[in-house]
Structure 1
Amino acid sequence: VKASANKRKFEKKVVRKETRSYQERLKEEINRDREEHGKKPFPQDKFDKEESKEIKESTTDPESGYYVKDERTKQFAYSFHAAADRNGFVLGTIVTPGNTHDSNMLEPLVDQVIENVAKPEAVAADAAYKTPAITNYLLKNEITPALPYTRPRTKEGFFRKHDYVYDEHFDCYLCPAGEILKYSTTNKEGYREYKSPKHICATCPLLSQCTESRDHQKVVTRHIWQACIEEADHLRHHEDVKPIYAKRKETIERVFADAKEKHGMRWTTLRGLKKLSMQAMLTFAAMNLKKLASWTWRAPKMA
């Protein structure tokens, strides 16, 4: 939702990166994983080290966020995150600055729905929500993830991630040339690192398709919750899950389309998160009432 703010009037500020909702859970699992591999757990200060980022803050509406969609679309905006049921009724909503990534808001949004309505049997979302943290959260809460296929993001001419086969029993990867990439460490982002033998890779005929590193070493990473992503990919083909994902375009996508086209949610004249949250809740409440009215309305019988 475009904010009521001039995109040319801003100040550059350095701010602390926001803590993700799953951070504490991830810390515990990282240290447990390191101990299982014979590594020392990270000290607390390793995680507590403050990370900062530079942002553009509007002088007109400081609570909005600078949203960059592409080269042509750059503006101060707010993001409306919403959850709908199979019939298109909005069950919950959270408003954030436009520079907040969608994936950071699914967990608090589902928690809101669980608290106010009930625990859903499944959650259908687009590719932006297909992350290790989200799939882990859903499966841990016995909620079926209905998520789409995501194509590999590998450079043209290089082997893709699935060309390196993971051996769960020996906890290692096999490269296309048949060499073993052994476990090296688990970093503080939650990724295990598997590294190839440099002396063998240096003379490998497939090196140019494998890595551009100066030391000729290939590093493959695997998140400690990667099994949850793989389970979500497996469920994607299940006959019970396919129609759930197909419903997404008829429900939540329709909600946002109607909100923009019929309820003026392309832009706002209000400023501040509190006022925008009120606008979102009132708009979605009105849309729910309209749908309920259309369901209960009966055409008068002709005399």
Structure 2
Amino acid sequence: MELGNELNEYKDIIESELDKTLPNEGMLQEKVFKAMRYSIFAGGKRLRPILTLKACKLISGDYKKALPFALALEMIHTYSLIHDDLPAMDDDDYRRGKLTNHKVYGEDIAILAGDALLNYAYETMIDAIKNNKNYRNEYINAFIEIAKAAGVFGMIGGQVVDVLSEGKDIGEETLKFIHKNKTSALIEASIVAGAIIGGATEQEINKLRQYGKAIGLGYQIRDDILDEIGDINKLGKDIGSDEENNKVTYVAMYGLEKSIEETKRLSEIAKNALKLFEHKETVDFFKRLCNYLVEREV
């Protein structure tokens, strides 16, 4: 199956489950339900939850037991986008081709919608831990992996340094810290959490962690490249916003050509980490994803 078709197949699964899981209407706070759903269903690749399901399937042959954690990861990712778009952060008007959450619901409800998605993600994972005795240890370890990646030693930590670095002449180590934590950490955790739920050995987890680190960093560098040369009609969001916000990106620091070469190098690192899984049919998806990172236009 072509990568695009495979991504769409799993995307449909995730969106169907999200629709069942997210609160809807009928209560006094239903406006925040609508705001949550607005951003969740505004589009998106669903890359993080797909990685969770695929990693679980790679190890165990089945993805279904990882579904609650895949949904939680998409909620966490979407909350971060809602907050990123706020005037106090990146101040963006469009996300995924639609008006950003605060442009539709106001800044107050947008903040609360982001908070609600983050909290609901944790509620979803805790419910899974409570209700599934057979996978309790795996679920708890996956929960810890995701929580750390989303917190002050992961995504939030990266976002803090990103905000504090605007307009400053930062060095290579600071830029790597931002990329490693703001974007790469949650992508890495998506893969590792799926592998843990699937019952992976320590060696398998270490190899998939290497893979996740490489594609996570490559994904962010490709984002920097697309912010420079991307097509707004394909991306569905403003381009050039990093430069307008005085943010130092990989492209700004190293130039476009070196940035493209770095994504290729990271793609090869990721492929090498997969050699342990050559005997598994599902590994082809992860190989093809390496190429997608280098070539994607959205």
TM-score (norm 2): 0.28
Q: Which has the higher helix share?
A: 2
Q: Which has the higher strand share?
A: 1
Larger radius of gyration: 1
